[in-house]
Structure 1
Amino acid sequence: MTMTRRFWLAGALALGLGAPAARAETPVLIFAAASLKNAVDEAAAAWSRETGHGAKASYAASNALAKQIEAGAPADLFISADLAWMDAVEKAGSLRPGSRSNLLRNSLVLVAPADSTRRLDLKPGLDLAAALGGGRLAVGNVEAVPAGKYGKAALQALGAWDGVKDRLAQAENVRAALLLVARGEAPLGIVYATDAASDPSVRVVATFPPDSHPPIVYPVALLKDSQNPEAGAFLAYLKSPAARPFFEHQGFTVLGGAGEKF
């Protein structure tokens, strides 16, 4: 080989010519309801360790995520905290046909700061306004955030809504509502049982009767425009026995999958 040829090859290799260019794999991007953070973070980390593929999640209220998806956000997977926002995304034509199923169930609780001595019985005739004292009730936005909508429905069913509707501290998502109580900025709050379990700074005062609000169901689906070849594999992992402990440890009830109606 001539000296000139050796120099040309050395230069080509230095520039990456003559060899396939290395490309970083794009991680699977999950848009997930804020209440799922602990469980999905654990599941994503475990899947990445097992497969070598990346997965990361963006958390917010389901309504905010649904609007981002409809605006063209490049997510691969959507997990909503209620059926209505998944319905909206499906109606907009943004879901991959046949990929939707119901993944989880949750329950709704009333929480107080951990050092609080408040006790309440969540039954018809509840005087929640009196229990608040001079404070406000922390809750997700009652017109948009799923936890807020469930909370409003429960309070209406118990006859307590009119007494507190003007004394709400409405948050952008359920974790933000939880934080208001954890910091002592609100004496009481309505969150999911799984959120309460994730934060030792709060305690559960009582659980809302299941028939006081619509069933809390978390549907999951692939997004139609996803180009990530690993998105389907990650969805299958979330629905597999391997991922079940991550959800159950946080207090979710894992559902059987497609076709379930509530």
Structure 2
Amino acid sequence: MPVSSIRRFVILSLLVLPLAPCSAEEAPGGTPIHIHAAGSLSGALRAIAARYQQETGETIAMVFGPSGLLREGIEKGNEADLFLSADRQHPQRLATEGKAAPPVVFIRNSLCATARADHPLIKAQLLDYMLDPATKIGTSTPKADPGGDYAMALFAKAETVRRGAEQILREKARALVGGAPPEPAPAQTNANVPQSGPAPTKKFLLDGTVDLFIGYCSRRETRPDPEVVSVPVPEALAVRADYALALLRDKSPERQAAAARFALYLMTPSAQAIFADYNFVPVVALSEFPPL
């Protein structure tokens, strides 16, 4: 993200925080910051929130789920101070409705193809493998989950590489995840509690439901999973995933200030480095990150 964009975000944060002091002593350990975040952020965000809580004494309550369903919940009145979406469109819709400040990109992701570890993938031959009639493909749920929308965009790009590919891939693909109701974090004051059980995408790969899953290159853990293998999609099929945050309006000045502090924390080198550990793409090179 250009320096000017970061400065714009700081200004926008101040605009939605009239006369609100920005000291961490306002409500340490009191009313938690309510965050609704894309499920793909769960591993990295738990780690970031745990560090933030330790540094500031503020508590954080998180709900993870498909961004589209989270946005719908916010529109219906679900309590949220900060929305972290896997795309720009859902937070922009809230901003257009007057429910949120203009969204700002805070991290990026890219698309990878994932298969069982005993089923190695070759990046250069990925499209051939995807189009093989025997290959079963899984994706997230379009519209409800941006991951599914990004997969559809990839299929559209495949059409420019090979005529007829988009229809074949759309017909083959099964939307397996991203349509379930959002899930709260295990505990608001213990944000680094790991999720239990295998990721749903891994389960579908291991039990043979699909042979290949088109999803994000980011991981739920810092280390690669030895039971699956992932490769970035070829450049001709690449789709950039911009993750945008939006501060929700109509909150008390104290809650807005607390949410803005955490939003700004996500843009710091320490938080961006944690995102990178989980295979996200920082918005700027960490060595070039300007002081706030």
| Superposition TM-score, scaled by structure 1 size | 0.77
Q: How does 1:35-46 map to 2 (within 5 A)?
A: 35-46=40-51
Query: CA 1:162–1:253 in structure 2 vs 1: closer, same or farther (change >3 Å)?
Result: same
Give unmatched runs, 5+ long, in structure 1. Answer: 1-22, 257-262
CA distance in 2, matches of 1:69, 1:254: 27
Pick from 217, 231, 235 the counterpart of residue 263 of structure 2. 235
CA RMSD of aligned residues (A): 2.6
Asked whether the equivalents of residues 70 and 92 of structure 1 are also in contact (C-alpha less than 8 Å), the reply is no
The corresponding residue for 2:140 is 140
Matched residue pairs, number? Answer: 228
1:69 correspondence with 2:94: no
1:101 correspondence with 2:104: yes
Q: Secondary structure at the match of 1:242?
A: helix
Residue 253 of structure 1, CA deviation? 1.6
The corresponding residue for 1:225 is 250
Residue 202 of structure 1, CA deviation? 1.7
Query: CA 1:127–1:38 in structure 2 vs 1: closer, same or farther (change >3 Å)?
Result: closer
CA distance in 2, matches of 1:83, 1:122: 31
Q: How does 1:27-176 map to 2 (within 5 A)?
A: 27-96=32-101, 100-119=103-122, 121=124, 126=128, 128-130=130-132, 133=134, 136-159=136-159, 160-173=165-178, 176=200
CA distance in 1, matches of 2:56, 2:122: 47
Which amino acid in 2 is paired with 1:243? A
CA distance in 2, matches of 1:44, 1:182: 31
Greater mean deviation of Cα atoms: 109-118 or 42-51: 109-118
The corresponding residue for 1:254 is 282
Deviations 1:148-174 (A, max 9, x none): 111111122113322232222203429
CA distance in 2, matches of 1:47, 1:172: 30
The corresponding residue for 1:208 is 233
CA distance in 2, matches of 1:210, 1:89: 32
Identity %: 26
Deviations 1:63-89 (A, max 9, x none): 111111111111111111111112211
Deviations 1:194-226 (A, max 9, x none): 03876613211x322455355310111211133
Residue 242 of structure 1, CA deviation? 2.4
Give unmatched runs, 5+ long, in structure 2. Answer: 1-27, 160-164, 180-198, 285-292
Q: Which has the higher contact order (CA 8 A, sep 6+)?
A: 2
1:186 correspondence with 2:195: no
The corresponding residue for 2:30 is 25
Q: Secondary structure at the match of 1:149?
A: helix
Which amino acid in 2 is paired with 1:86? P
CA distance in 1, matches of 2:76, 2:260: 22
